[in-house]
Amino acid sequence: MEFQQIRSATAIITYAGKRFLLDPMFAPKDAFPPLELSDHPDLRMPLHELPLPPEKIVEGIDALLVTHLHFDHFDEYARQLLPKDLPLFCQDEKDGEQLRQWGFSNVRPLHHSGDTFGAIKLTKVGCLHGEPCRAEVLYEKIGMRGQACGVVLQARGEVGMYLAGDTIYCDYVEAAINLFKPQVIAVNTCGASMRGYGHIIFDLADLRKLHAFAPKLQVIATHLDNVGHATVWRSDVQALKQELNWQQLAIPDDGAVLHYGS
């Protein structure tokens, strides 16, 4: 299995002979306005340019994997560039309806019972995209859907891969690790938050909980250094890695490639 960090939550995952493009955000630097409820209301997003031209990123992609439709996971720039007939796995039929309205013709909603693509089984896993009760108020206030999903990839001869998605540390994460026993987990961990509403994805405290629960699990820290509502940066995760002597934690730079398994 190969995991290439592109930028923020966007990655290319090469798995059992297939190349998945995960949560594509192709916008140029500073394309999106600041978020007024964030701790950095002056930061436009993304904070950095893509490490590769978008056309290069799309080359050889077999399928799209879109965990939800927030702007930093599937933006208008990606929607315009991506081939509309690529297989596109999404979290549910509600997102599927929106994707079809955008012109995508090969939309495949994921299921908790699992779906297949070639030799690969993809299984949908629940997320808590924010702190219970607080997150619901936030998403209602800003008029955005709050649901997201994680995905487990399994195939004979490959390591088990768990894409945790936009979630805080919660029972879903522990249950997925216990049930699927993945060797690798990719964690969105910039601690994104809105003032007064708490954090909506992993922060440093959540990473500590993950380390305590599964200290031998190979962890990829992703979704870093590119959104204005972040409260955790690569330097913070690196400091935590050193503090805990967490050898199994990878913190890839944009464009970096990680290899797992044979």
Q: Residues 72, 9: contact at Cβ < 8 Å?
A: yes
Q: 83 preceded by cis ω (within 30°)?
A: no
Q: Residues 2, 13: contact at Cβ < 8 Å?
A: yes
Contacts of 20 by beta carbon, 8 Å cutoff, 6+ apart: 12, 13, 14, 61, 62, 63, 64, 65
At 36 the pLDDT is 86
Domain count, the chain: 1
State which residues of the chain have pLDDT below 50: none
| CA–CA distance, 245 with 168 (Å, rounded to integer) | 23
* 209 burial via Cβ count (<10 Å: 0-12, 13-18, 19+): middle
Adjacent-strand bridge partners of 139: none
What DSSP letter does each residue of 23-82 carry, written as one string? Answer: S---PPTT-BPPPTTSS-TT--B-SS--SS-HHHHHTT--EEEES---TTTS-HHHHHHS
> For residue 102, what are the domain limits?
2-259
Q: Which helix (H) or strand (E) holds 164?
A: none
At 78 the pLDDT is 97
Query: Token pair for residue 149?
Result: 């999903």
pTM of the entire predicted model: 0.97
Beta strands at 63-66 and 88-90: parallel, antiparallel or unpaired = parallel
Q: Which helix (H) or strand (E) holds 198?
A: strand 198-199
Query: Token pair for residue 18?
Result: 């297939």
Closest of 256, 177, 255 to residue 216, by C-alpha: 177
227: domain CATH number is 3.60.15.10
Closest of 167, 246, 90, 78 to residue 99, by C-alpha: 90
